[in-house]
Structure 1
Amino acid sequence: MRVEWQPALVLHKRAYRETSLQLELLTRDHGIVALVAKGVTGAKNHILRAQLQPLQHIKASFLLKGELGTLTQSEALPPPLAFAGERLMAGLYLNELVLKLCPRHDADNELYQRLLQARAELAGNGDLAWLVRRFERDLVGHLGFVTPWSFTASGEEIGPERHYRVHPELGLMPCGAEDAGALVGAEWLAFNADRMPSRPALAVLRGVLHAAIASHLGKSLPRSWQMIGELSRSLLK
Structure 2
Amino acid sequence: MRENSHMIVLIEDEKPIRHFLGSALQEAGFHYIEADTGKQGLVDAATRKPDLIILDLGLPDMDGIDVIKQLRAWSDVPILILSARSRETEKVMALDAGADDYLTKPFGVAECLARVRVLLRRRQASNTAEQSVFEFGNIRVDLAKRIVEKAGEHIHLTPIEYRLLVTLIRHAGKVLTHRELLREVWGPSYAESNQYVRIYMGYLRQKLEEDPAQPRYILTETGVGYRLVTD
TM-score where L is the length of structure 2: 0.34
Greater C-alpha Rg: 1
Larger RCO: 1 or 2 (CA < 8 Å, sep 6+): 1
TM-score where L is the length of structure 1: 0.33
